[in-house]
Structure 1
Amino acid sequence: MSLTPLLPPALPFFVYGTLRPGEPNHDHFLRGRTAAEEPALLQGAALYDGPGYPYVVEEPGIVRGDLVTARPEEYGALLVALDHLEEYVPGDPRNLYERVEREVVREADGTPVRAWTYVAAPAVAEGLRRHGSRIATGDWLALR
C-alpha cells in the first residue's frame, strides 16, 4: 500500500486576470514555463473587479481568458506557484479562491478542454454578488 499523496491531474490552466499576457504576473509566473497559451472562454461564470485583480464567480455569464498549457517538466512547480499566488490551500475555509476543474472552450476552434481555474471561494462570491462590481464584458483586459 502506497502512502504517496494523490496528485491532481495535470490539466492546463484557465487564467483571466493578472496572469494573462501583458499583465503583471504573466512574466513572473508563466514566462518560460508554458508550451502553449491561447484565447479561451469560460461559460457559466461572471467576472468581478477586485482590489487590483479580478474574481470569477460561478453564475450565468462568460469570462474571456487564456488557456495555458504548462511544459511537462514545469507542471508541478507551476501548480505550486499558482496555488501560492492565489493563496489557495486545499480545504482551508480562509481561501479567497478555490482551484476547480472546469470546461473551457478554445476561441480558435470551439474545442472544449478541461482546465484548472481559480474561482471566488463561497464567502467571497456571496460578498461580490451583493456588493461587487461585475465586469460586463467578462474581459479583464477590456478594463486596462
Structure 2
Amino acid sequence: MKITMLYPFFVYGTLKPGEPNYTRLLAGRIVGEEPATLAHAALYTAGPFPFMVREPDLVVPGDRVLGTLITVASAEYEQMLVDLDMLEAYTEGGSANMYERILLPVETSTGPRTAWVYVAGAEPLAQIRAGQMRRISEGEWRSDAAALAYWRNL
C-alpha cells in the first residue's frame, strides 16, 4: 500500500505512553502525542492487551475508547507502519488478521482528526461474541498491577 498521507495513529493499549510497546516502538520516533477519544467503540480483553470493536452488537450507547493520538516523525513513518502492522498481526488484505488497520475520526481537544486505528479482526470478534473476553466498561486500558488484580478478581 502506497501511503500518500501521513495520518497519526490512535493508540489505546500497549502502545500508549507508559506502556511497554510505547517504549519499545514509539519512543524517539514520534513528534507529538495528545489525548484522544473514539466514540461508539468499546474495549475487550482476555489477557495482556485489548481489542477495540465498533460492531453495534458489542457496543453500548455512550461507549467510547480513551487513548492517545500519536504523530510519527515523517522520516520514521514508512518503517513505523511496518513495525506496527507486525506488532498487531495485520497484513493488508489478509483473512487471518488479529487486528485490522482502518482510518477513523477521533476527537481531540482541537477537534476531530483522522487517524489509523487497529480494531479487532475476525477471530478476536468471534471470541468476544462467544463470551471469551471481558468488556472493559470504562473504555480505558490499563496494564498496571492494580488493573490486573481487578480483572483477576472478577
Same fold (TM over 0.5): yes
Aligned to 1:140, what secondary structure does the other structure show? coil
**Which of 90, 103, 106 is the aligned partner of 1:88?**
90
Structure 1 counterpart of 2:105, which letter? E
TM alignment of 1:1-144, pairs within 5 A: 6-7=2-3, 9-59=5-55, 60=59, 61-106=63-108, 108-109=109-110, 111-131=111-131, 132-141=133-142, 143=147
Distance 1:8 1:122, change over 3 A: farther
**1:130 and 1:103 mapped to 2: Cα distance?**
29
In 2, Cα distance between equivalents of 1:122 and 1:65 = 23
Partners of 1:8 and 1:124 in 2: CA distance? 30
Distance 1:8 1:84, change over 3 A: farther
TM-superposed deviation, 1:130: 3.2
Gaps of 5+ in 2: 149-154
Structure 1 segments unaligned to the other structure (5+ residues): none
Superposed CA deviations along residues 33-74 of structure 1, whole A, max 9, x for unmatched, are: 111011100112100113210000114320000000001111
Cα distance in 1 for residues equivalent to 2:114 and 2:78: 17
Q: Residue 96 of structure 2 contacts residue 122 of structure 2 at CA under 8 Å; is this kept in 1?
A: no
Number of aligned residue pairs: give it: 138
- Identity over aligned residues, as a percent? 42
Give how far 1:126 is off: 3.1
TM-score (norm 2): 0.83
Q: Partners of 2:12 and 2:93 in 1: how far apart?
A: 23
Residue aligned with 2:18, SS = coil
Change (3 A) 1:130 1:8: farther
